[in-house]
Amino acid sequence: MKYKNLLFDLDGTLTDSSEGIIKSALYTFDKMQLTPPEESSLYTFIGPPLGDSFLKHGVEEKDKDRAVAIYRERYTKIGKFENAPYPGMIDLLKKLKSEDFKLYVATSKLEPIAVEVLEHFNMTEYFDEIAGATADGSREKKEDVIKYLLDKIGENETDTVMVGDTNFDVLGAAELGIPCIAVTWGFGNPDEMKKAGAAAIVSSMDELYDAVNK
């Protein structure tokens, strides 16, 4: 077995959270009386820090914090549960756990919300630790979350792999010398993740299982 510690991204990797994120982003643009981007562009809200996404789509720097606050008005009450585990994911986690892999979550989502989402779907039992972003923005980039998690569990990059669906996962892990297995069922571009240095690109739960065992 090549890897011991498996670090999973949440949105786009463990669960399909697109409905809640997109509706909450549209709610924000409406409340701020701003023209929203095309719906296809709203998928870019999944993965990076929220404030960065609003800046990318026309919100001014001075209004960034207000946009994030409005987004969270809806997301923390409704949007977080407009969500579902990907088919076969829970069975895969159960299998990996039974084979003594150490499973963790490293997400740019606020940590309390990540825990709440995973609890809602009865998924917390599979993970030894769940690490996410902080509300004050002091920990929001993927590399910061991964470093925080590794420090907390007393592990380093040895025998560790990130599993994610965007360049933020691939590049964030690389900052700490960790390979990343990229999944294609999420919201990233497989070609871009390959160019960014993904150790493997997988398109099914069986392929992911094989990749962590190589």
Whose CA is closest to 111, among 69, 76, 155? Answer: 76
Average pLDDT over residues 67-95: 96
Average pLDDT over residues 45-63: 90
Regarding whether 59 and 158 lie in a shared domain, the answer is: no
Residue 11, pLDDT above cutoff 70? yes
pLDDT attached to residue 135 = 87
Is 206 an active-site residue?
A: no
| pLDDT tens per residue across span 111-154 | 999 999 999 999 999 999 999 999 888 998 999 999 999 999 98
Average pLDDT over residues 202-213: 97
Residue 1, pLDDT above cutoff 60? no
User: Using CA atoms, how far apart are residues 137 and 65, in angstroms rounded to an integer?
Assistant: 10
Domain count, the chain: 2
| pLDDT tens per residue across span 141-197 | 999 999 999 999 987 778 999 999 999 999 999 999 999 999 999 999 999 999 999
Q: Which domain holds residue 57?
A: 18-81
Q: How confident is the model at residue 40 (pLDDT cuts 50, 70, 90)?
A: confident
Regarding whether 132 and 30 lie in a shared domain, the answer is: no
User: Residue 46 is part of a domain; what is its CATH number?
Assistant: 1.10.150.240
Average pLDDT over residues 95-108: 96
The pair of three-digit structure tokens given for residue 130, joined into one six-digit string? 């769940």
Regarding whether 199 and 185 lie in a shared domain, the answer is: yes
Q: How confident is the model at residue 39 (pLDDT cuts 50, 70, 90)?
A: confident
Regarding whether 124 and 72 lie in a shared domain, the answer is: no
Average pLDDT over residues 33-61: 89
Q: Pick the catalytic residue: 9, 11, 16, 144?
A: 9
Residues 6+ away with beta carbon under 8 Å from 32: 59, 63, 66, 67, 70
User: Using CA atoms, how far apart are residues 134 and 122, in angstroms rounded to an integer?
Assistant: 23
pTM (predicted TM-score) = 0.89
Regarding whether 181 and 98 lie in a shared domain, the answer is: yes
Regarding whether 108 and 141 lie in a shared domain, the answer is: yes
Residue 206, pLDDT above cutoff 70? yes
Alpha helices in the chain (DSSP H): 18-31, 50-56, 64-75, 89-98, 111-120, 142-153, 167-175, 190-195, 205-213
Pairing relationship of beta strands 129-133 and 84-85 according to DSSP bridges: unpaired
Mean pLDDT of the chain: 94
Domain boundary among 81, 104, 129: 81
Regarding whether 38 and 51 lie in a shared domain, the answer is: yes
Regarding whether 94 and 57 lie in a shared domain, the answer is: no
CA dihedral for 27, 29, 30, 36, sign (positive or negative): negative
Domain boundary among 81, 104, 127: 81
pLDDT attached to residue 67 = 96
pLDDT attached to residue 140 = 87
Regarding whether 89 and 62 lie in a shared domain, the answer is: no
Regarding whether 39 and 105 lie in a shared domain, the answer is: no
CB of 130 closer than 8 Å to CB of 152: no
Regarding whether 54 and 11 lie in a shared domain, the answer is: no
* Other residues' Cβ atoms within 10 Å of the Cβ of residue 57: 20
User: Residue 119 is part of a domain; what is its CATH number?
Assistant: 3.40.50.1000
Regarding whether 22 and 12 lie in a shared domain, the answer is: no
Residue 72, pLDDT above cutoff 80? yes
